[in-house]
Amino acid sequence: MKIETETRDDHQVKLIAEIEPEVYEKSKRQAARKIAQTTKIPGFRPGKAPFEVVRRMVGEKALQEEALDILVDEIYPQAIKEAGINPSGPGALEEIVSIDPVKFSFLIPLAPTVKLGDYSSVRLPYEPTPVTDEQIDQFIERLRTSYSTVTPAERPSQEGDMVYLTISGSLVHPEEGKDPSVIEERPLQVMIRPTDQQNEEEWPFPGFARELIGLSADEEKTISHTFSEDSHYETLTGKEIEFQVKVTSVKGVELPEVNDEFAQTLGEFQNMEALRSSIRTGLENNGREEYDRDYYAKLIDMIGADAEVQYPPQMLQEEIDSLLRSLEKDLADQKMDLETYLKVRETDRETFIENEIKPAAIKRLVRSLLMDEVAHTENLELGQQELDASFNETMYELQSSGDFDKLRKKVPSKRLANAVATEAALRALNRRVLERLKAIATGQAEEEASVAQVTPAAEDNPNEEPAAEDTASEQAEASPQDNPEPPKPEN
Amino acid sequence: MLTIYDVLRSPLVTEKSNYQVNKLRQYVFSVAREATKTQIKDAIEIIFDVKVVRVNVINAPAKRTRRARSRRLLVRNSGFKKAIVTLVPEDRIPIFEGVE
């Protein structure tokens, strides 16, 4: 077999293979046998007709096609091996250049190559913002509000009251021929907060509640407000709107006292101290999750900035497809399909993919490639223990997500277990990589490395083929430091 | 009057005849109903330019079948006369497919 290769710009290889006539002849005979199995040839049992008879029956052309098919299947792996190509996906037969001698040209996507820059010098301090007492106070305040008791009051409203009202809004200067109504008449309940606790997100505009002070039941008021340029409601910026308000009732709100008793009513809290600390951890976890996401995204982008990533278009296409699928699934949850969604967004499929899906897909692909590469260069491996832990976690999440039963009915349990295991392994490895990157970026890794030089038995350097005991000890060593963060409670 | 060119009607190519050709040097033809062994021998020797050792003939009987669509009607396949011709070892009939 003669092989020529030619690397193309988009990270694919064009491979031209020339086949010897004997090999071709052999595959022709094979083809004839295959055809004889399926074609009915009078006078012969299936599969018993000799080559010549088959050829007379089906014709040279059909025989040739079948033979080429067989040949392609057969020589493709061989050709790849001989050419020393590392493919990332199934190659495509581009064309049959000639029949005599048989010459194929394949288009093979190469495995992505990632050239990491000097990622070990990337520095990004890891500083999650600490939770302040103020935030905790705010949280408790919110708790108090939601646990407050409401009693009807026969008096004009005042600070701290809950006002039930109906509201409708219209533009003061509507455009010609347009419906001036902005808000249809609808009920609303508003809490009048003290001035120092103003809610920035207040609806319909900040400060609305304070306009209601002094109103009592069945009173009406017209409030006009001009939305500022930086308002959340883009369509209303700079427009003056009149709100018609009719108060239905005023209710006094009694906030529970902040004391140990209040803490006890909320659950398993002994006293205020316990409640506060629980809130603190909850907030911390939430904040850290968010921070972690941003941090890792930034970190990987930094590494990606001086890395060189090359991948064939097929991989990108796969990524795009998977993104589209997940989008479709999300839409299906909202009882929508992609077509409708696109119509709402006033775009068509091609432009939508080109402008929105593709950049995201590229980003995701590059990110995952980078992470793989880091895992590879850093020689990160997972111990059985970690895998188990991750598997259990994944399984647990799956079970609690509710679709599990449905899934289990559809998918055979073995396949399901496999899928979960793969997912779990991926997750664990991802986490591992991210932690390693964090260690590098915060400079911890260097310290460890210097320690490692003094004591060569240090962790984090799993050998290529660790002996059984090594793995065990390594796991024991690795697991405590691999999970510096306690499992995050869902909040 | 049956000339030698009317004797042979068609070669029979089946799994069995294929075996006979390859292993036993016997070539199977469907021949005219009124052909005799001698006529068949002459015909083969002249047309294919080979030497015939022996000719066996069989009158393959007509078979009854039913028409596939309406199962009532009986249809008769016509019978035919089959000749099995054995050649001397050196000779072959090249047009016989399955040989090359």
Q: What are the structural domains, with CATH classification, of chain A?
A: 2-111 (3.30.70.1050), 123-148+257-305 (no CATH), 151-254 (3.10.50.40)
- Give me the mean pLDDT over the A137-157 stretch: 75
- Confidence label for A211 from pLDDT (cuts 50, 70 and 90): confident
Position A389 scores a pLDDT of 77
- Give me the mean pLDDT over the A102-130 stretch: 72
Q: Do A43 and B17 touch (CB under 8 A)?
A: yes
Task: Give B82's contacts in chain A (Cβ within 8 Å).
Answer: none
Q: Do A43 and B14 touch (CB under 8 A)?
A: yes
Task: Give B18's contacts in chain A (Cβ within 8 Å).
Answer: 44, 50, 53
Position A448 scores a pLDDT of 60
Q: Is the pLDDT of residue A422 over 60?
A: yes
Q: Do A45 and B97 touch (CB under 8 A)?
A: no
For B54, phi then psi, to 5°, come to -155, 150
| Residue ranges making up the domain that contains B30 | 4-89
Instruction: Give the DSSP H/E element, type plus range, for residue B26.
Output: strand B26-31
- Kindly state whether residue B94 falls inside one of the protein's structural domains: no
Task: Give B96's contacts in chain A (Cβ within 8 Å).
Answer: none
Task: Give A45's contacts in chain B (Cβ within 8 Å).
Answer: 15
Nearest Cα of chain B lies from the Cα of A51 at a distance, in angstroms, of: 7
Looking at the partner chain, which of B15, B17, B100 has a beta carbon nearest the beta carbon of A45?
B15
B90 and chain A: CB distance < 8 Å anywhere?
A: no
- What does the alpha-carbon distance between residue A279 and residue A255 come to, in Å, rounded to a whole number? 19
Q: Are A223 and A163 in contact (CB under 8 A)?
A: no
SS3 B24: helix
Residue of A nearest to B100 (CA): A52
Tell me how far CA of residue A425 lies from CA of A385, A387, B93, in angstroms. Answer: 11, 6, 69
Position B96 scores a pLDDT of 63
Residues whose CB is less than 8 angstroms from the CB of residue A253 and which lie 6 or more positions away in sequence, other chains included: A145, A148, A149, A150, A160, A161, A162, A191
Bond from prior residue into A101 cis (ω within 30 degrees of 0): yes
Task: Give A53's contacts in chain B (Cβ within 8 Å).
Answer: 13, 18, 97-98
Give the CA count within 13 Å in the CB-facing half-sphere of A374: 28
Question: How does pLDDT run across A374-392, given as a tens digit for each residue?
Answer: 777 776 666 777 777 777 7
- Kindly state whether residue B97 falls inside one of the protein's structural domains: no
- What does the alpha-carbon distance between residue A318 and residue A324 come to, in Å, rounded to a whole number? 10
Q: Do B98 and A43 touch (CB under 8 A)?
A: no
* End-to-end CA separation in angstroms for chain A: 63
Query: Which amino acid type is present at position A194?
Result: P
- What does the alpha-carbon distance between residue A301 and residue A472 come to, in Å, rounded to a whole number? 35
Q: Name the residue among B83, B27, B29 with its Cα closest to residue B57.
A: B83
Which of A241-255, B35-49, B57-71 has the largest mean confidence?
B35-49
Residues whose CB is less than 8 angstroms from the CB of residue A36 and which lie 6 or more positions away in sequence, other chains included: A44, A46, A47, A48, A49, A54
Which of A216-230, A357-371, A390-404, B46-60 has the largest mean confidence?
B46-60
- Kindly state whether residue B95 falls inside one of the protein's structural domains: no
Q: Do A52 and B97 touch (CB under 8 A)?
A: yes
Q: Do A53 and B98 touch (CB under 8 A)?
A: yes
B97 and chain A: CB distance < 8 Å anywhere?
A: yes
Q: Do B15 and A56 touch (CB under 8 A)?
A: no
- Confidence label for B53 from pLDDT (cuts 50, 70 and 90): very high
Residues whose CB is less than 8 angstroms from the CB of residue A321 and which lie 6 or more positions away in sequence, other chains included: none
Looking at the partner chain, which of A45, A48, A53 has a beta carbon nearest the beta carbon of B13?
A53
Question: How does pLDDT run across A169-199, given as a tens digit for each residue?
Answer: 777 776 666 666 777 777 777 777 766 666 6
Tell me how far CA of residue A463 lies from CA of A161, A243, A382, A406, A440, in angstroms. Answer: 68, 72, 12, 42, 20
- What does the alpha-carbon distance between residue A213 and residue A97 come to, in Å, rounded to a whole number? 86
Residues whose CB is less than 8 angstroms from the CB of residue B6 and which lie 6 or more positions away in sequence, other chains included: B32
- Kindly state whether residue B99 falls inside one of the protein's structural domains: no
Task: Give B17's contacts in chain A (Cβ within 8 Å).
Answer: 43
Cross-strand pairs, A107: A14, A92
Instruction: Give the DSSP H/E element, type plus range, for residue B10.
Output: strand B8-11
B15 and chain A: CB distance < 8 Å anywhere?
A: yes
Question: How does pLDDT run across A55-94, given as a tens digit for each residue?
Answer: 887 888 888 888 888 887 777 777 777 777 777 667 777 7
- What does the alpha-carbon distance between residue A223 and residue A195 come to, in Å, rounded to a whole number? 19
Q: Do A48 and B97 touch (CB under 8 A)?
A: no
Position A455 scores a pLDDT of 45
Looking at the partner chain, which of B15, B99, B100 has a beta carbon nearest the beta carbon of A43?
B15
Phi/psi region, residue A206 (left: phi>0; alpha: psi -120 to 50; beta: rest), is beta
Q: Is the pLDDT of residue A489 over 50?
A: no
In the block, tokens 């988009």 appear at A10
Bond from prior residue into A204 cis (ω within 30 degrees of 0): yes
The structural domain count of chain B equals 1
Lowest mean pLDDT across A404-408, B9-13, B55-59: A404-408
* End-to-end CA separation in angstroms for chain B: 35
Question: How does pLDDT run across A330-369, given as a tens digit for each residue?
Answer: 888 777 777 777 777 777 777 777 777 777 777 777 777 7
Looking at the partner chain, which of B14, B17, B98 has a beta carbon nearest the beta carbon of A52?
B98
Higher pLDDT, A130 or B57: B57
Residue of B nearest to A41 (CA): B14
For A385, phi then psi, to 5°, come to -60, -50
CA of residue A25 relative to chain centroid, distance: 51
Q: Do B97 and A53 touch (CB under 8 A)?
A: yes
- What does the alpha-carbon distance between residue A255 and residue A454 come to, in Å, rounded to a whole number? 62
How many residues does the structure list for chain A? 491
Question: If you compute the radius of gyration of chain A from its CA atoms, what whole number of angstroms results?
Answer: 34
Position A63 scores a pLDDT of 81
- What does the alpha-carbon distance between residue A334 and residue A433 come to, in Å, rounded to a whole number? 35
Position A479 scores a pLDDT of 39
Q: Name the residue among B72, B43, B64, B65 with its Cα closest to residue B55.
A: B43
Higher pLDDT, A103 or A1: A103
CATH of the domain at B73: 3.30.70.330
- Kindly state whether residue B23 falls inside one of the protein's structural domains: yes
Secondary structure of chain A in the HEC alphabet? Answer: CEEEEEECCCCEEEEEEECCHHHHHHHHHHHHHHHHHHCCCCCCCCCCCCHHHHHHHHCHHHHHHHHHHHHHHHHHHHHHHHHCCCECCCCEEEEEEECCCCEEEEEEEECCEEECCCHHHCCCCCCCCCCCHHHHHHHHHHHHHHCCEEEECCCCCCCCCEEEEEEEEEECCCCCCCCCEEEEEEEEEEECCCHHHCCCCCCCCCCCHHHHCCCCCCCEEEEEEECCCCCCCHHHCCCEEEEEEEEEEEEEEECCCCCHHHHHHCCCCCCHHHHHHHHHHHHHHHHHHHHHHHHHHHHHHHHHHCCEEECCHHHHHHHHHHHHHHHHHHHHHCCCCHHHHHHHCCCCHHHHHHHHHHHHHHHHHHHHHHHHHHHHHCCCCCCHHHHHHHHHHHHHHHHHHCCHHHHHHHCCHHHHHHHHHHHHHHHHHHHHHHHHHHHHHCCHHHHHHHHHHHCCCCCCCCCCCCCHHHHHHHHHHHHHHHCCCCCCCCC
Q: Is the pLDDT of residue A462 over 70?
A: no
Q: Is the pLDDT of residue B7 over 80?
A: yes
- Kindly state whether residue B35 falls inside one of the protein's structural domains: yes
Nearest Cα of chain A lies from the Cα of B99 at a distance, in angstroms, of: 7
Lowest mean pLDDT across A121-125, A320-324, A417-421: A121-125
Position A451 scores a pLDDT of 55
- Give me the mean pLDDT over the B62-82 stretch: 77
Q: Do A56 and B97 touch (CB under 8 A)?
A: yes
Looking at the partner chain, which of A42, A50, A56 has a beta carbon nearest the beta carbon of B18?
A50
Percent of chain A with pLDDT over 70: 74
Residue of B nearest to A57 (CA): B97
Query: Which amino acid type is present at position B76?
Result: R
Residues whose CB is less than 8 angstroms from the CB of residue A92 and which lie 6 or more positions away in sequence, other chains included: A106, A107, A108
Q: Is the pLDDT of residue A464 over 50?
A: no
Task: Give B12's contacts in chain A (Cβ within 8 Å).
Answer: 43
Q: Name the residue among A106, A86, A116, A112 with its Cα closest to residue A313.
A: A112
Q: Are A295 and A441 in contact (CB under 8 A)?
A: no
CA of residue A393 relative to chain centroid, distance: 18
Nearest Cα of chain A lies from the Cα of B1 at a distance, in angstroms, of: 32
- Kindly state whether residue B96 falls inside one of the protein's structural domains: no
Q: Do A52 and B17 touch (CB under 8 A)?
A: no
- Kindly state whether residue B100 falls inside one of the protein's structural domains: no
